[in-house]
Amino acid sequence: MHSYDEPVYLISVVAKVLDIHPQTLRQYEKEGLIEPDRTEGKMRLYSERDVDRIKMILRLTRDLGVNLAGVDVVFQLKEQIEEYEKVVDELRSDIERLSQGTKVTKGSLVKRKSRFDLIFYDDKKDKK
């Protein structure tokens, strides 16, 4: 069995399974919505993850009437949400780790990330 990210499907197989024209897959790639791997002979190979992403594109375009530019925006927002969820999970882990065995002191806690800083500050501490 192959992994979810392993590129194993040719463009003709994916097109047939999803009942779309291979040119549609080429267009999705041209628009930057999918990035299939390539063999040394430059043949496109799609992974199960790619196929699921294509299914999502088809749902958005066919069922919801979203154009390809809108699909790109949806995917960008989805990626941002996933990044934010990771940050929240890391912060929860940090809070859990800090609160186990030690008393969490009030004050500031700065968590550095590549795009932004999250700063938690208890202003009651400065008023003493």
Evaluate if residue 112 carries a pLDDT over 70.
no
pLDDT tens digits, residue range 2-12?
899 999 999 99
The CA distance from 123 to 19, in Å, is 60
The CA distance from 79 to 71, in Å, is 12
pLDDT tens digits, residue range 31-84?
999 999 999 999 999 999 999 999 999 999 999 999 999 999 999 999 999 999
